[in-house]
Amino acid sequence: MIQVKNLTKIYFSYKKTGDFLKDLFFKEYKKIIALENISFEINNPEFVGLIGPNGAGKTTTMKILSGILYPTKGKINILGFTPFEKKKEFLRQISFVMGQKTQLHWDLPSIDSFYLLKDIYEINDLIFKKTLSQLTEILNCQELVNKPVKNLSLGERMKMELIASLLHNPRIIFLDEPTIGLDIFSQEAIRNFLKIYQKEFKATIILTSHYLEDVKKLAQRLIIINNGKIIYDNSLNKIKKEFSNKYLTIYLEKEIDKKFFEKIGEIIFYQYPKIIIKINKQTLAEKIDFINKNIAYSDLAIEEEKIEEIIKKILKNSFSKKTKS
């Protein structure tokens, strides 16, 4: 469905020297590598989280895949099309939703924009009515489509944006920060909608978000990108298995010297009677057995390492490798 091979994007930025004549007649440029030889494949239907720090190359990747930007080099095949050719048959099968940009007319009700999009995409009347009914029902926003966009809250506008982007039943959806700026209830509503939509319509969705809760609850696979390179690509479950640790929270019945717990793992917090220890998950059974035999406690809880911490770890490993090389 999506095949990307050795994709590279290079920008040239004008560099000022402070010398007016030199800047005017002998301009200097610096090369900025936004993406460097990245390759991956995405099948149908997949929900993929494309994540990384600011400036990693996430949005650049999405814009190239959707045909907004032209790559410097590399091969891209999406549904049998080359995106930057922007053929009508290709554009009818994709959608790009940006959390900070709108395609709706500010002073008009959303329904007017929907009818305009119906004509642009040449959607059959019956299909249009059926799809609109399905989308408004899933989002529980039937009464909002007739309100002027300017009178809607940010969360309500995002619902209308999603409907506008999905009326033509795209096979591939690019979501760039779809929950940015939304309150926790609106974020949850958007996540639930996307989960249901993908299941019902069998769409392939690529999501970028700085809210890792979005990624954790929606994506089955993560592509982690940093400094224009893919540093990890695997299912969310495999990433957890490979990188995550366990956190043991123990409430002690009597105080024990802190050094004793170093036999178990890394001490994260200790203030009697509570201690938190990080351990390798492969040794969990062994450590629990040791604790039961040697420590008197009133309560013990085991928690998974948060996905945020796992991703930080992967990014730190990437940074240290780059520094050494």
**Quick one: average pLDDT of 200-225?**
91
**Quick one: average pLDDT of 219-230?**
92
Order of strands across the sheet with 266-271? 266-271, 274-280, 245-252, 297-304
Q: What is the pLDDT of residues 280-293, one digit of tens each?
A: 888 889 999 999 99
Question: Residue 67's closest CA among 78, 80, 51, 57?
Answer: 78
% residues pLDDT > 90 (the chain)? 68
Q: What is the pLDDT of residues 248-257, one digit of tens each?
A: 999 999 999 9
**Quick one: average pLDDT of 167-190?**
92
**Quick one: average pLDDT of 273-278?**
94
Using pLDDT thresholds of 50, 70 and 90, give the confidence band for residue 317: confident
Fold of 43-240: Rossmann fold (3.40.50)
Residue 276 confidence (pLDDT) above 60:
yes
Using pLDDT thresholds of 50, 70 and 90, give the confidence band for residue 305: confident
Given a contact cutoff of 8 angstroms between Cβ atoms, the answer to whether 155 and 102 are in contact is no
pLDDT at res. 100: 74
CA dist 249 → 190, 240, 289 (Å) = 34, 20, 15
* Secondary structure (H, E, C), the chain: CEEEEEEEEEEEEEECCCCHHHHHHCCEEEEEEEEEEEEEEECCCCEEEEECCCCCCHHHHHHHHCCCCCCCEEEEEECCECHHHCCHHHHCCEEEEECCCCCCCCCCEHHHHHHHHHHHCCCCHHHHHHHHHHHHHHHCCCCCCCCEHHHCCHHHHHHHHHHHHHCCCCCEEEEECCCCCCCHHHHHHHHHHHHHHHHHHCCEEEEECCCHHHHHHHCCEEEEEECCEEEEEEEHHHHHHHHCEEEEEEEECCCCCHHHHHHCCEEEEEECCEEEEEEEHHHHHHHHHHHHHHCCEEEEEEEECCHHHHHHHHHHHHHHHHHHC
pLDDT at res. 50: 94
pLDDT at res. 14: 76
Residue 240 confidence (pLDDT) above 90:
no
Question: Residue 117's closest CA among 106, 101, 128, 127?
Answer: 128
Q: Report the distance separating Cα 173 and Cα 188, nearest Å.
A: 19
Residue 181 confidence (pLDDT) above 70:
yes
Residue 27 confidence (pLDDT) above 80:
no
Number of CB atoms found within 10 A of residue 10's CB: 14
> Six-digit token pair at 36?
């460097």
| Greatest mean pLDDT range, 12-21, 191-200, 302-311 | 191-200
pLDDT at res. 321: 59
Write the CB contacts of 211 (distance below 8 Å, at least 6 apart in sequence). Answer: 179, 180, 187
* Max CA distance (Å), the chain: 79
Residue 310 confidence (pLDDT) above 70:
yes
Judging by beta carbons within 10 Å of its beta carbon (0-12, 13-18, 19+), is residue 123 exposed, middle or buried? buried
Q: Report the distance separating Cα 321 and Cα 311, nearest Å.
A: 15
Residue 23 confidence (pLDDT) above 90:
no
Q: What is the pLDDT of residues 67-77, one digit of tens each?
A: 999 999 999 99
Using pLDDT thresholds of 50, 70 and 90, give the confidence band for residue 189: very high
Q: Report the distance separating Cα 44 and Cα 34, nearest Å.
A: 27
Q: What is the pLDDT of residues 92-145, one digit of tens each?
A: 999 999 877 888 999 999 999 999 999 999 999 999 999 999 999 999 999 999
Please state the separation of Cα 230 from the chain's center in Å.
14
Domain ranges of the chain: 43-240, 251-304
% residues pLDDT > 70 (the chain)? 98
As a dihedral over the C-alpha atoms of residue 323, residue 234, residue 97, residue 183, rounded to 10 degrees, the angle is: -80
Question: Residue 259's closest CA among 248, 247, 282, 275?
Answer: 275
Using pLDDT thresholds of 50, 70 and 90, give the confidence band for residue 146: very high
